[in-house]
Amino acid sequence: MRHIPANSRSPFFLNISRRGDLRRAESRRKPPGSPATYARGRFTIHRADGMVFTVTALRDPRRGADLSQQEFAALIGVPLNTFRMWDSGLRPVPSHILLRSQAALTTHMRNAERSSLDHLAREFGVHERTLRAAARTGRLQVTFSSRSAFGRPIRLATRAAVQAFMRKDYRR
């Protein structure tokens, strides 16, 4: 593969392969001792202690939320194969997708956060006994906290579980 400068002032080089197709590739303008470099959708961070980390714009937040590629692609509303190219760093992520993913991730984390039934009852405008009865009969998915109040474990549910209960079983 030969690199031919396209223009003396251009930050890009033409990358000519054996098949003859032309591709644009960013030139490396950062000095070799710089703390961070960006190449093809990946950020490489060099720490002072010698550790090198490669960070992609979508992979680390997705892994932090414990979501699969398929779940995260559905969350931001893009095709799975497109998301895989962005997640691996093979293609740069458009800025509007980064903004959309941050908003979707914030909403997802808020809906997946476990809260007590009394807090959720106030938030959704439902009586707490309604949510307790739904949890007792299995219509509301709950988990139990390791803490207890008056000798009884505290029931915790997610906003998404309460929303599903309200849609399916709650009649006002």
CATH (one of 2.60.120.10, 3.40.50.300, 1.10.1660.10, 3.40.50.2300) for 113-168: 1.10.1660.10
Helices and strands, counts by H and E, the chain = 7, 9
Q: Residue 4: pLDDT above 50? A: no
Domain boundaries, the chain: 1-29, 31-112, 113-168
Question: 14 and 7 in contact (C-beta within 8 Å)?
Answer: no
Fold of 31-112: 434 Repressor (Amino-terminal Domain) (1.10.260)
Specify the pTM.
Answer: 0.59
Mean residue pLDDT of the chain comes to 76
Q: Which of 133, 44, 56 is nearest to 92 (CA)?
A: 56
Phi, psi of 46 (to 5 degrees): -105, 115
User: Per residue in 92-119, pLDDT tens?
Assistant: 888 888 889 999 999 999 988 999 999 9
Residue 83 binned pLDDT confidence (cut-offs 50, 70, 90):
very high
Question: 5 and 11 in contact (C-beta within 8 Å)?
Answer: no
